[in-house]
């Protein structure tokens, strides 16, 4: 029998229309979106389904993404009865994993990421920070180049050959030059609104800790994998501190997937917009089953599980 992981994408995968069929054609999906609107004080369906200039702004993106992925997950669970053995998410997606594992209620996950988005948006003035994708270079080689550079660090260990760096804009640009000289195939500045998962976001993490003080955390029904440690979390005591650190720490996605593989996971179901995580996993281990659920019709892919 398959050992299944639910996995959830992070910021950057959003697009206009995401989750619309789940909202319009299922009672459970509609309930999740409408509850989010009630909690947040604005129309989440309008944010997600109608052309607007807010969906790509961090303080709105995060709540929109988490609402959408949770709605998809709850419909999947109800219609297919599939129960995962573990959950994980890339950066923002970790909050969907918290909901999947029972650590946070759906409502608290949505409310918390709304505050997280605002704090991250406000943490660094526009233009002072930057992020860049470094392609076709070993993580250890990138770490070596960055070891004597202050103000820039690895933000994401996505998969072999794709690492993201983050920090002060001028330092990221210098690092790009050094990494290209050291053998990176490409170094691409990303179109993002801040230097996420860098020390520049440490203050936002501290403020998020104050938000989390008011949130109820439950014992995990199933474990989830922490971005910060790439290890299974099976007890609630560590959760808040890990989430506080996550904002300014490296996202160890490749290592998280490797931990799940080592635990015997052989089927990954990506729930949410896009296929980003499916692409990463195929580069980590080619011969595993990876399915993505972003349209209602995609649920048919799960019939054989």
pLDDT digits (tens, 9 = 90+) for 131-150: 999 999 999 999 999 999 99
Residue 48 in domain = yes
Q: What are the pLDDT digits (tens) for 264-303?
A: 999 999 999 999 999 999 999 999 999 999 999 999 999 8
102 and 241 both lie in a single domain: yes
* Joined tokens for residue 236: 């609630």
Q: Are 62 and 184 members of one domain?
A: no
| Last residue within a domain, chosen from 189, 213, 241 | 189
The verdict on residue 234 lying in a domain is yes
Domain assignment present for 194: no
Give all strands (DSSP E) within the chain, no chain letters.
4-8, 86-89, 129-135, 152-159, 162-168, 186-189, 224-225, 232-233, 267-271, 289-293
Q: What is the dihedral of CA 165, 150, 227, 7, to 10 degrees?
A: -10
Angle at 217 between CA 213 and CA 219, to 5 degrees: 150
* pLDDT per residue as tens digits for the range 67-116: 999 999 999 999 999 999 999 999 999 999 999 999 999 999 999 999 99
For residue 305, what pLDDT band results from cuts at 50, 70 and 90?
confident
pLDDT of 117 > 90? The answer is yes
Residue 221 domain flag: yes
Residue 168 sits in a domain whose CATH number is 3.30.70.250
- At residue 106, the pLDDT reads 98
pLDDT at 191: 84
Together in a domain, 225 and 120: yes
Show contacts of 213-216: CB within 8 Å, 24+ apart.
213/240, 215/104, 215/108, 215/112, 215/240, 216/104, 216/105, 216/108
Last residue of a domain, one of 167, 189, 211: 189
d(CA 117, CA 106): 17
Q: For residues 133 and 88, state if they share a domain.
A: no
Are 43 and 183 found together in one domain?
Answer: no
What residues have CB less than 8 Å from 33, skipping those under 6 apart?
A: 19, 23, 44, 45, 48, 67, 71
Rounded to two decimals, what is the model's pTM?
0.96
pLDDT-derived band at 192, boundaries 50, 70, 90: confident
Give catalytic residue positions. 91, 197
Instruction: Return d(Cα 94, Cα 106) in angstroms, integer.
Output: 12
Helix (H, G, I), strand (E, B) or coil at 88: strand
Provide the pLDDT for residue 145.
Answer: 97
**Do residues 255 and 181 share a domain?**
no
Residue among 99, 25, 47 nearest 69 (CA): 99
Residue 1 reports pLDDT greater than 80: no
Instruction: For residue 109, tell me if it sits in a domain.
Output: yes
User: What is the distance between the alpha carbons of residues 170 and 172, in angstroms, rounded to a whole number?
Assistant: 6
- Are 75 and 210 contained in the same domain? yes
- Structural domain tally of the chain? 2
**Domain interval for residue 183:** 129-189
Are both 8 and 95 inside the same structural domain?
A: yes
Final residue in a domain of this structure, among 149, 165, 189: 189
With CA atoms as reference, report the closest residue to 62 among 155, 194, 162, 215. Answer: 194
Q: What is the mean pLDDT of residues 243-270?
A: 98
pLDDT score recorded for residue 193: 82
89 within some domain: yes
pLDDT tier, 28 (very low <50, low <70, confident <90, very high otherwise): very high
pLDDT at residue number 228 = 98
118 and 140 fall within a common domain: no
**What Rg, from alpha-carbon coordinates, does the chain have?**
18
Pair (205, 59) in one structural domain: yes
Question: Is 291 within 8 Å of 104 (Cβ atoms)?
Answer: no
Supply the mean pLDDT for the chain. 97
List CB contacts of 157: < 8 A, sequence separation 6 or more: 139, 163, 250, 251, 252, 253, 254, 255
Q: Is the pLDDT of residue 182 over 90?
A: yes
Residue 269 lies in a domain: yes
In a domain, 60, yes or no: yes
- CA 292 to CA 276: how far, in whole Å? 9
Assess whether 146 and 249 both reside in one domain: no
């Amino acid at each position: 029998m398959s050992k299944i992981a639910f996995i959830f994408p992070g910021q950057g995968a959003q697009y206009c229309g995401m989750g619309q069929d789940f909202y319009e054609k299922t009672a459970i999906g509609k309930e999740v979106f409408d509850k989010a609107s009630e909690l947040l004080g604005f129309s989440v369906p309008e944010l997600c389904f109608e052309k607007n200039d807010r969906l790509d702004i961090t303080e709105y993106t995060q709540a929109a993404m988490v609402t959408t992925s949770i709605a998809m997950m709850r419909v999947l669970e109800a219609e297919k009865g599939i129960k995962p053995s573990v959950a994980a998410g890339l950066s923002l997606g970790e909050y969907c994993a918290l909901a999947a594992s029972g650590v946070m209620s759906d409502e608290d996950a949505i409310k918390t990421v709304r505050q997280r988005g605002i704090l991250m948006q406000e943490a660094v003035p526009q233009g002072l920070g930057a992020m860049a994708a470094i392609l076709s270079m070993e993580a250890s080689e990138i770490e070596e180049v960055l070891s004597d550079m202050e103000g820039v660090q690895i933000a994401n260990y996505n998969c072999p050959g794709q690492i993201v760096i983050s920090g002060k804009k001028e330092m990221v640009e210098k690092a790009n030059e050094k990494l290209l000289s050291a053998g990176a195939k490409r170094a691409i500045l990303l179109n993002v609104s801040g230097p996420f998962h860098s020390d520049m976001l440490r203050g936002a993490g501290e403020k998020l800790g104050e938000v989390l003080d008011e949130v109820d955390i439950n014992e995990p029904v199933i474990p989830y994998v922490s971005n910060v440690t790439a290890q299974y979390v099976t007890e609630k005591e560590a959760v808040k501190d890990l989430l506080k650190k996550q904002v300014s720490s490296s996202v160890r996605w490749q290592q998280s997937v490797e931990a799940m593989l080592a635990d015997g996971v052989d089927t990954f179901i990506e729930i949410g917009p896009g296929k980003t995580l499916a692409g990463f996993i195929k580069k980590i281990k080619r011969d595993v089953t990876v399915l993505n659920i972003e349209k209602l019709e995609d649920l048919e892919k799960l019939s054989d599980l």
